[in-house]
A and B are shown apart, each in its own frame.
Chain A
Amino acid sequence: MKEQHHQSEFDVIIIGGGATGAGTARDCAMRGMRVLLVERHDFAAGATGRNHGLLHSGARYAVTDHESAAECIKENMILRRIARHCVEENDGLFITLPEDDLSYQSTFVDACLKAGINAEVIDPALAKRMEPSVNPSIIGAVKVPDGSVDPFRLTLANVIDAKAHGAKVLVYHQVVALIKEQGRVIGVTVVDQKTKEKTNYYAPLTISAGGIWGHGIAEMAGVKVDMYPAKGSLLIFGHRVNNVVLNRCRKPANADILVPGDTICLIGTTSSHVGFDEVDDLRVTPDEVDLLLREGEKLAPSLATTRILRAYAGVRPLVAADNDPTGRNISRGIVLLDHEERDGVPGFATITGGKLMTYRLMAEWAADLACRKLGIDKSCTTMTDPLPGSREGNEAPTGKSFVMEGGRKSAYVRHGELASRIAAENEYDNSLVCECEDVSVGEVKYALENLDVNNMVDLRRRTRVGMGTCQGELCACRAAGLLGEAHNCTKKAEADLTSFLNERWKGVYPVAWGSALRENEYTKWVYDGVCGLK
């Protein structure tokens, strides 16, 4: 075991590389703290990357959870400014179908207005013009400022900025113990997942931002945080059916949101309680697929004939309140636990609850607490300071072609002004690794060199390699080649290629019929039969 010096190298250790952890690391680092961020897998590998990617206006919560709704709309407006390259300002519609109660619409609009959400009742005919894919039998429509947000880009931008402010970031490092001294948490024991080496790191404050896994992290400190694991499953469709977010105007229920995001659209979610033993290996069941399709077709009938790319599930980090069997009625509000005050364990805090939408506010609360604990007098500036990628000159160059002077258009959409760092001088750097998502060799190399990429799944989160309809068929071997080159290890790259393809198949399996199945068979033939990959 390696020992770091007892006199703390860090002011604060943050556990969890989701949006909340990355946001907290950034906020703390910007306020001058020496920060260590520890993530056991990759950034945005948990619930952060396993949701709708909906830039909530808050309208969904307006009737049932006023506080969350008000938080959402504020954060919504902030993200449009500070995270332009992660956000699509698509707008949203809350539609009423003939089977729904139209009188709910006025309750809904009143609650929205009360929360500060600009909800506007519009003529169904106008709604159909706004979004031609919407169910034509709608009897009511309300327009709200919904949008889409890319959780991978958002988390990464926070990490990049945290690092720029001096934070140390460890991915594929798992916290296996909290080090306690006289009842106080003074640091963490971390295992490097690759080398299995253990290291102790010390700081006067440790903040758990581990989402549903926060339950287990708290246990290591001898503290009980009752989380309520509620699984939500979603389906990804092969292309954008809609350009406006579609919601049902009724009490939140299953499969009533269809969100367009980048090249695809998503229907979700379901909600069911799962045990803690399941949260690391979630499976989407046939019943869930069935329900998502059945309900999804009601929002946009063309979903019935649109190819489904894959299915996936995430676990909401809900904090248990009562015996609600579905988890739908638990507040999505932010929960900040000062364990010194709550449990008499100084040096430890938990930030949980909330949503992707409110990650910044959660980070602000957690960093405020850190400032109080450490006697730092600096106020939060994350509501005004744009994230890297959304700063000056983030506008994508316009031009007639995909490839322009300065790189490919799609790279600017993904990385904002940081795309100017992507090599695009020669034909090789401009050639494509991922044909579906238009990812160049230069972009992959940039990610491998600068964005903490350990394997191909990480690379997918940074660049969208393998997220398109071919699900790795053409891009995986090319990406594996570049990865092997960067890490100077062909064997590891080959093993990684296999596990990447298996990971892709896991998502396709629940919806393996029609073109998706056909394409997978073809992929299998290419890799198994032609490339001889076992």
Chain B
Amino acid sequence: MNLQESNISENNFEQCIKCTVCTVYCPVVPVNPKYPGPKQAGPDGERLRLKRGTFFDEALKYCLNCKRCEVACPSNVKIGDIIQLARIKYSKKKPSLRDTILANTDVVGTMSSAFAPIVNTTLSLKPVKLLMDSVLKVDHRRSFPKYSGEKFVTWFKKNAAARQDAFKHHVSFFHGCYINYNYPQLGKDVVSVMNALGYGVHMLEKEKCCGVALVSNGLIDQARSQAKLNVASIRKSVNEEKRPVIAASSTCTFTMRDEYPHLLGVDNADVRDQIEIVTRFVYRLIEEGKVKLKFRDGGKLRVAYHTPCHMEKLGWAYYSTALLRMIPNIDFVMLPSQCCGIGGTYGFKKENYETSQGIGASLFAAIEEAKVDYVATDCETCKWQIEMSTTTKVEHPISILARCLDLEATSKLNC
């Protein structure tokens, strides 16, 4: 008998057996009744949309693309992808001026960095916030990440680039928008740690924003062209220069590895495995005995780790937490894995503010209760959300590692 050998179609929504566990794990459903939930927005809705495009429901915009539904799904249905693709294919809503501004982190970042002190002051003024709220529909209760006066790449060229070739091993570093425009210190920490481990750090030939904000704001063509440019640079780094690519942001990493082929149709199969988050890269070097660490003596530091959604989806939170646990002076606290509610640009939008804060509420409470010196997390937007919504400061695990390592002694061990 001609049994279908594999009845897993491209539209793998048919593997859904309606167990509804995705909806149970969706952070939006409990706080926003307008969102139909991943099962209905994803596999159920897809059947209806295939029947007639008019069955597209604009409420799909309430999905914050955390992909926790996909992690929960026991049937391997790419629920989050189905929802994002439906928005790309059917949504008639054109991105607004606000969406375009929020999505274009590169352009806005370049402009803002040049006038950082003015922009930072202006953006924190109450009248400006209210104006942005009413005109652009960017919620006035939201605080903005500060822009740095000097871009990371400018610092790197001036202060670090020259000495990188001297190292035995090499990596390329996808710094991303946040490090470049807002927080060069994290980039500097990555360079110090990698250098101490005997790795030279290089910029990619060309780098554009990974495009995640463009995807979620419906600017797909622009996202695709940026993805192509990034993959071309990564390909050059991996194939010609034999340098794997590391990034500090879990979302940039996830986007380049998985969203490029799934949502944007940009093939990266030949280099995907060589795009890694820095904590995993470092953890593996240590695990394989290729590098040695020497820590500084110092006081106890109490650190709680928050798992960003895309870190959960990558399945990589283990590496960041294991790395933190290796640090002798750290009193480590694991927070329950849950969405903080920011979802990139999602939480900045006026219509999502309540949802965003509602999603994160129990996490914020858990953080306050933990009484820690720092929350560690691999995602910059989680950092903004947690710093805005709690009294605790947030750092990247690599920054914490950089602070606890005796960099000079470590360098000597690895030269």
Contacts and interface: CB of A to CB of B under 8 A. Distances in A.
Whether chain B is bound by chain A comes out as yes
Interface of A: 238-240, 262-263, 286, 289-290, 293-294, 302, 304-308, 396, 398, 400-402, 409-410, 413, 435-436, 438, 468-470, 473-474, 513-515, 518-519, 522
A263 B4 contact: no
Residue from the set A396, A402, A473, A474 with the largest chain B CB neighbour count within 10 Å:
A402
Q: Which 4 residue pairs spanning A and B have beta carbons closest together?
A: A400-B58, A307-B14, A514-B7, A519-B17
A515 B7 contact: yes
B57 A402 contact: yes
A263 B2 CA distance: 25
A147 B5 CA distance: 31
27 contacts: A238-B47, A239-B11, A239-B14, A239-B47, A263-B48, A305-B4, A305-B7, A305-B8, A307-B9, A307-B15, A402-B36, A409-B55, A410-B48, A435-B18, A435-B40, A435-B44, A436-B18, A468-B44, A469-B47, A470-B18, A513-B4, A514-B6, A514-B7, A514-B8, A515-B15, A522-B17, A522-B18
B7 A410 contact: no
A306 B14 contact: yes
A308 B4 CA distance: 9
Contacts, number: 103
A296 to B, nearest CB: 10
Contacts of B10: 302, 305
Main secondary structure of the interface of A (DSSP, over half): loop
Interface string B3-47: 111111111011111111000000000000000100110001011
A473 B16 CA distance: 12
Contact of A306 (B2, B7, B55): B7
B50 interface: yes
A435 B39 contact: yes
Given A240-B50, A307-B7, A293 B2 contact: yes
Contact of B6 (A238, A305, A308, A398): A305
A239 B50 contact: yes
Given A293-B2, A470-B18, A513 B7 contact: yes
A470 B44 CA distance: 10
A409 B49 CA distance: 12
B39 to A, nearest CB: 7
A240 B18 CA distance: 19
Nearest to B41: A402
Contacts of B7: 305-308, 513-515
Contact of A305 (B9, B17, B58): B9
Given A263-B50, A473-B18, 7 more contacts: A240-B47, A263-B47, A402-B55, A409-B54, A410-B55, A435-B18, A468-B44
Nearest to A240: B50
B366 interface: no
B90 to A, nearest CB: 11
B9 A438 contact: no
Interface string B245-285: 00000000000000000000000000000000000000000
A513 B15 CA distance: 12
A106 B315 CA distance: 60
Contacts of A263: 47-48, 50-51
A401 B14 contact: no
Nearest to B50: A240
B59 interface: yes
Contacts of A519: 17-18
Given A306-B7, A308-B7, A402-B36, A436 B47 contact: yes
Nearest to B18: A470
Contacts of A522: 17-19
A401 B19 contact: no
Contacts of A306: 7, 9, 11, 14
Nearest to B52: A413
A293 B2 CA distance: 7
Contacts of B16: 469
A238 B77 CA distance: 15
B17 A401 contact: no
Contacts of B2: 289-290, 293-294
